[in-house]
Amino acid sequence: MEIVLSLVIGVLTAAGVWLVLRPRTFQVLVGLSLLSYAVNLFIFSVGSLAIDREPIIQAGLQPNLVDYSDPLPQSLVLTAIVIGFATTALFLVVLLALRGLSGSDHVDGAGDRP
């Protein structure tokens, strides 16, 4: 499972970087979203992925790192998802305003009107 998760994080990162380097603003927006998903998956995987395990050690049990998953990365990822959604919405509004003012959605200004 760790290999599959590592491959998914790598593919999301590569696709995100490729899209961030594209000339159009919508592609940059999608690339930033993919990069944030890759970072969220990485942070989530740091919290020791465990299936059918307790998220927090119960009282009276001997703590063993294999027997539970850390809830802190899960809460950090949840917070990052909310913040990422808000910044994506803000970037989309700025993108639409810029396209309305300039008539183009190119990042480098190559598609500007004369």
Q: What would the pLDDT profile of 30-87 be if each residue is shown by its tens digit?
A: 999 999 999 999 988 887 666 666 666 666 666 665 556 677 888 888 999 999 999 9
pTM of the model: 0.75
63 inside domain: no
Q: What is the 3-state secondary structure (H, E, C) of 87-102?
A: HHHHHHHHHHHHHHHH
In a domain, 13, yes or no: yes
Rounded Cα distance, 63 and 97, in Å: 54
Domain-located, residue 110: no
The pLDDT of residue 7: 95
**CATH number of the structural domain spanning residue 18:** 1.10.287
Range picked from 16-30, 48-62, 94-108 for highest mean pLDDT: 16-30
CB proximity list for 81: less than 8 A, separation 6 or greater = 40
